[in-house]
Structures are given as structure tokens and as C-alpha cells.
Amino acid sequence: MSKFTDWLDHRTGYRALLHEALYENIPGGARWRYVWGSTLVFAFTVQLITGVFLWMAYSPSDNTAWESVYYIQTQMEGGWLLRGIHHFMAQAMVVLLGLHLMQVVWDGAYKAPREVNFWVGLILMLIVLGLSLTGYLLPWDQKGYWATAVATNLSGLTPAVGPEVQTLVVGGEKYGHHTLTRFFALHAGILPGLLIALLIVHLAVFRRHGLHAKQPITRPDQSFWPDQVLKDAIACLAVLAVVLALSFYFKGAELYAPADGAKEYSAARPEWYFLFLFQFLKLFEGYGETGEFVGAIVVPGLVMLVLFLMPLTGRVKAGHYFNVAFILVLLGGAGFLTYEAIKEDMGNQDYANAVWVAHQNRDLALHLAEEGIPAQGHRYQMRNHPKAVALTTITETCFACHGYSDSQGHGFVLGDRSAAPNLYGFGTREWVKGLLDPNRVDGPDYFGNTALKEGTMVSYVKEDMQAADSGYTPEVIEQIAVALAAEAGHEPETQADKELLEKGRAILSDEEKCAQCHKFHDAGSEGSAPDLTGWGSREWLIGMISNPNAERFYGHVFSSDPSSNQQMMPAFGHVEGADFPTENLSPEVIGYMADWLRGELLKRPEKESAGAAQPEAAPAADGENAAPAEDPTKAN
């Protein structure tokens, strides 16, 4: 063995190289504060390794980018973890960069003779930020698409040549194949290549001037190997542990619905480490193009200038103090702006609703992808598949009036802005009990913001039912709720509930009570209130959505006075000779809308593919994709 190493050393001189690399002297011994540079090198190494493997499965084009990332995330073994590590290590890298920069400035390590290395470091930082920006687009999902659209539009603010710069960045007038190929070439080729080259320079120059030791030196010197290496390795392990924990917790990196520039998307935000810039730009609102230019280009440019000048300003003591103060204000300010941005979003119900809708679309996109993606790409499915049309109709049309939120405020919250009942839990006991609650029946979750606020049902619940001898005890309300939920298909499970069911049905059939106005199976008649037979069932919902003005539903409200427009809901189906608005959706789409309301859109009943637009995807014969792996991105 030693003969071989002697031979190798004679030919290559590797021992001297290794010695040079490992036995760098560390004045005052190894310290934890010196680990940041090494953690960055480690983070970059991880990005290189995971990036190359992602590259092997990624396909940069408008109709394959999302699809290939979907495949990595849900079908390839370990693919979700690979994405997770790459995604979270990128974020860790930005944090570590901030720490490294702060430590270098704080310790004055940027001063002579290390000016050049500081400048190289700043360029490296810009490259890493460029990698973040370009990488964010590559999955080609709604989130990355819209965030990058904003960033590239800002590049159009460049003086004189703005539009040209933007066209070059995007690879044409609009986003498409070449946006992806260009971003991918930058992300996987040019930027990492530059980074490696400059990293070599950075390390070589670092070695030339040696470590900038913390003063005063009180302990004996040590060498880089093994004392500092161990500290570095422990710090890197901590970074890796955090990244792995995040990857497992989030089951990889998120993947939203495929990019679609024509689709409403109100949840656009940059990645969190660019949020401060996003928030900073808001300060320039109201100053038009000039304001935007100053905020997006001039100020960040000046900040970079101050950073680049630090080695010169740091020559005098006051200059160094200024630099330290500047870096603290800069990072503190960025932190504050990030906090402000998050705080604003937390208080912004429209944003929360948009994120919720984005998640609904994401879940549907992943659900549909399991059936196979057509060659046109998955965006085609998300525009044309009847399930997607159903979801889009619900989120863009139904939610204009109806809210869909639980008592904790999760879901699509309209609150007092609603113009129609809250659809969350429609068909359940809780929904019925809320309707029969005198405090809620005329509230925003039920008839409060509709013309029916003055209707018979509201006065019945608030007055007749509250009379001492009405007989509507809480037990009776429970019985009605159980019986109605059973109509919707929520069959009672316990024996006690089954007893309630019979009693509830008796009340619903009682022509002195509910059946006075409502039809319920053989009791009562249509024409004065919605039919409660099969209330909330798929069939009932399809009828109601198709034509709420049918006699079985709210025809009585509509026909009593057409000009008052009391019944605002359009008919979503085709209604022959209708003198009210109709949307003419197909029965299939309306069926899926009913499924969504019943929480069953993403379930896979046997009948599902019957009549679906896609040919029955039966890849069982072929094995591949037949049983999609459990989808880790589904977990919220």
C-alpha cells in the first residue's frame, strides 16, 4: 500500500497538497465562530449532488416541467426527499450567507489585506441569490410562475433597455419553453459554474491571508485538521438535520398546480427570503414608475455599493463602526420587513382565501395526474377536465357569494361579505343545527345576507320555534338534524342515533311542522319551500345547482316576483326556455361540483371514470404508474 502511495505521491505530489489543505494554522485554535464558511461550502456541495440527480429527471419545457417534477415528487423512490433536501438546503444557504456576511463584517475580516476576498464573497452571494431566483421557477407551478413573473417584470424597469432585458430574460415576449430552458441553463450551468470558479478563488485567497483570528489570542494555535474540521462537521450536521427535519415534515417541497398565466391566482408571493424586497417595494407605492424603479433597482443597487465599499470605508475606525451598524440595520431591516410582510398576509383574508384555493387546485392537480397526463401537459387537464372545470366554477363563481369555512375560520372565508349561505358542511347535522339556531339563521352563514332574511324560514326559526309550546326542544332539533343528515347520506351509526332518526323523520313529515311548507317524501308538497327529500344528497345538489329556480327548490321565491331578483343564484345547468341566467355547464361538471361540496371529488369510486373525458386509464397491464405511490404532497 505504502509503495503505491509513494508512487502516486511521486507522480502527483498529492501529500503536499493534502497537507496544505488540512494543516492550515488556526491562530488561537479552532472556534465555533469560524464554521460559517464551511457550512456554506457544505450546503453548496449538497446542492450540487442533489441538483445533478434532479437534473436526471427534470424536463425543462412548458408542458413537461411541472409534469417531470410531479413524477420526481410522487413516483420516484426518494424523489420527494431529494426535492425536499434541495429546496430546504437552498433556504438554509441564504440564512448561512447572512450569518457569514454578518460575522465577517462584525469581526472586521473584510479589511486589508482581505478586500478582494470580501468582494469575491459579495459576488458569490449574488450568485447564490440568482440560483434561488432561477430555481424557484423550474417546477413551473403556479407559485413559482407568478413569483418569477413579478421578478422578471421588475427587470423590465432597467433604464433605457428594460423591455429588451426582460425579453432576453424570458426568452421571448411571453413565458414558455425558452423561459424554462434559459432559467435552467442559468440555474444548472452558468451560475453553478461561476460559483465553483469564484469559490476556488475565494478559498485560495482565504488561505493566502490566513484566517482572520479573533483577538486577543489566548489559546495555543491548532491546525484546521482535525480540530476545526470537527467543529465544522458538527455545524454542518446541524444544518443537515434541520434540512432533513423540514423535508420530512413537509414531505418534500411543495408543488402547486401547473403554471397557468390565464388562470386567476391571487396567492403570488416570492420565497420568504425575498419577502423583504417585496415588502420594501410597497413603500414606494403611489410614486408610479419612478417609485418602482427607485425601490426595485436604485436602493438595492446603493446597498450593494455600500457593501462593496466596506473594505475602503473600514480603513478608519469610524468607518468600521459604520459598516457594522450598516450590516446590522440591513439585516434587521430585512428581518423587520419580512415580519411586516408576514403580518400583513396573516391579517389579509383575501390572501388566505387565495392560498386556500391554490391548495385546492394543487390537490386536484395531483389527483388528476394519477390518471396520467396528456401529451399537451397537465395545464390542459387543469383547464379542461370536468373535475377541474367544476372546481374552477366553485372557486371563481360560487365563492363570489357563498363562503366555505368552518367555525375556526379555515377554508374560504367570506364572513359578513357573503351574499349567500356558507356551504361548509352542507348536508351535515352541524349545518342543520346552525340553520335552526335563532341566533344564526339570519346571520352571514345562513340567510343573513340574502333576500330570504325576511323570509318565512327565518321568522319560523326566530319566532314560531321559540314559542314555549312549540315543542322544538334541543332534543327535537337534534332529531331533525340526524334525519336530514341521513337524507344527505350521513347515515347514523350508533343505536341512539338510529332512534333519533325515526323521530326526526316523523317531525319532518309532520304537516303541522316542517311539512307545512316543505315536501318530505310522501308528506307536504313542493312550491312553498325546498324539497327536503334527499336533501344534501348528490342527486339533490345536482338538481339545486342545475336549476335552483325549479319548483322543487327555490322556484317559489323566483316566481313570486321575477323583477325583484330575490333568488340570485344562476342556474348552472341548461334550462330550456329559461328567463333567468344560466351557465349551461354539462351534467358531468355539475355532478363533480356536487361531489366537491360533499367532500368526495378526490375520492375514487368505481363509477368515476364512466363518462369522464379521459379514456379509462388502465395501465395495470403495463405496470408502470398503475398504483401511484402514496402521495406525500397531499398532506397539508
Establish if 627 lies at the interface with other proteins (CB under 8 A): no
d(CA 633, CA 623): 23
* Stretch in the footprint of other proteins (CB under 8 A) among 167-175, 254-262, 365-373, 452-460: 365-373
Q: Among all chains, which residue has been given the C-alpha cell 461550502?
A: 41
Residue 101 near residue 121, CB atoms below 8 Å: yes
- Decide if residue 68 touches other proteins (CB under 8 A): yes
> How far is it, in rounded angstroms, from Cα 386 to Cα 389?
5
Site for other proteins in 549-578 (CB under 8 A): none
**Nearest distance from C-beta of residue 254 to other proteins, angstroms:** 18
Residue 233 interacting with other proteins (CB under 8 A):
yes
Q: How far apart are CA 498 and CA 248, in angstroms?
A: 43
Q: Side-chain half-sphere of 489: how many Cα atoms within 13 Å? A: 14
Contact criterion met (CB below 8 Å) for 423 and 398 = yes
Q: List the grid coordinates of 413.
A: 372565508
Q: Rule CB under 8 A: which of 396-455 touch other proteins?
A: none
Strand pairing partners for 25? 223
Please state the closest distance from residue 258 (CB atom) to other proteins, in A. Answer: 11
CA 237 to chain centre: 28
Beta-bridged to residue 523, according to DSSP, are: 520
Minimum Å distance from CB 44 to other proteins? 11
Asked if residue 374 binds other proteins (CB under 8 A), the reply is: yes
Stretch that binds other proteins, among 73-81, 292-300, 408-416, 446-454 (CB under 8 A): 73-81
User: CB 633 → other proteins: shortest distance, Å?
Assistant: 14
Buried b (16+ CB within 10 A) or exposed e, 292-309: bbbbbbebeeeeeeebee
How many binding residues for other proteins (CB under 8 A)? 56
Beta bridge partners of 571: 582
Among positions 7, 8, 10, 18, the unique one binding other proteins when judged by CB under 8 A: 18
Q: Does 172 bind other proteins (CB under 8 A)?
A: no
Beta bridge partners of 412: 404
Residue 611 binding other proteins, by CB under 8 A = no
Contact with other proteins (CB under 8 A) among 226, 335, 581, 599:
226
Question: Quick check: 382 and 365 in contact, CB under 8 A?
Answer: yes
Q: 267 near 355, Cβ under 8 Å?
A: yes
Query: What angle (nearest 5°) sits at the alpha carbon of residue 43, between those of residues 41 and 47?
Result: 115
Using CB under 8 A, which of 56, 262, 318, 468 touches other proteins?
56
Cα–Cα distance for residue pair 464/479, rounded to 1 Å: 18
How, if at all, do strands 25-26 and 222-223 pair?
Answer: antiparallel
Q: Which of 8, 52, 197, 346 binds other proteins (CB under 8 A)?
A: 52
Residue 135 CB, nearest distance to other proteins (Å)?
16
Which residues are 520's β-sheet partners? Answer: 523
Stretch that binds other proteins, among 128-136, 440-448, 569-577, 612-620 (CB under 8 A): 612-620
Task: State the binding string over 503-542 for other proteins (x if CB under 8 A, else -).
Answer: ----------------------------------------
Residue 159 CA to residue 87 CA, distance in Å, equals: 33
Q: State yes or no: residue 141 binds other proteins (CB under 8 A).
A: no
For other proteins, the closer of residues 95 and 629 by Cβ is 629
Nearer to other proteins, 64 or 395 (CB): 64
Half-sphere exposure of 635 (CA within 13 A, CB side): 13
CB of 613 to other proteins, least distance (A): 11
Asked if residue 207 binds other proteins (CB under 8 A), the reply is no
Stretch near other proteins under the rule CB under 8 A, chosen from 149-157, 225-233, 318-326, 388-396: 225-233
249 binds other proteins (CB under 8 A): no
Q: Which stretch binds other proteins (CB under 8 A): 19-27, 283-291, 452-460, 537-545?
A: 19-27
Task: Give the H or E element holding residue 301.
Answer: helix 299-313
Cis upstream peptide for 300 (omega within 30°): no
The verdict on 230 binding other proteins (CB under 8 A) reads yes
All three cell numbers of 452:
330570504
- CA–CA distance from 336 to each of 32, 278, 284, 296, 323 (Å)? 27, 12, 17, 18, 19
Stretch that binds other proteins, among 138-146, 220-228, 478-486, 553-561 (CB under 8 A): 220-228
Give whichever of 288 and 623 is closer to other proteins, judged by the CB atom. 623
Helix (H) or strand (E) holding 26: strand 25-26
- In whole angstroms, the minimum distance from the beta carbon of 69 to other proteins comes to 10
The span from the CA of 352 to the CA of 350, in Å, is 5
Instruction: Give the SS3 label for residue 223.
Output: strand
Least Cβ distance, residue 172 to other proteins (angstroms): 25
* Grid coordinates of 491: 347515515
C-beta of 30 vs 514, nearer to other proteins: 30
* Binding flag, residue 369, other proteins (CB under 8 A): yes
Segment near other proteins (CB under 8 A), from 47-55, 190-198, 396-404, 555-563? 47-55
Give the span between the Cα atoms of 323 and 307, in whole angstroms: 8
Which of 7, 10, 12, 19: binder of other proteins (CB under 8 A)? 19
Q: Which of 26, 40, 81, 382 binds other proteins (CB under 8 A)?
A: 81
Q: Looking at 4, 11, 77, 218, which residue binds other proteins (CB under 8 A)? A: 77
Nearest to 303 by CA among 278, 323, 283, 273: 323
Residues 358, 257 contacting (CB under 8 angstroms): yes
Q: Which stretch binds other proteins (CB under 8 A): 67-75, 429-437, 528-536, 544-552?
A: 67-75
Closer to other proteins at the Cβ: 76 or 194? 76
Residues making contact with other proteins (CB under 8 A):
5, 15, 18-19, 22-23, 42, 45-46, 49-50, 52-53, 56-57, 67-68, 70-72, 75-79, 81-82, 85, 223, 225-227, 229-230, 233-234, 236-237, 240, 244, 369, 371-375, 614-615, 617-619, 621-625
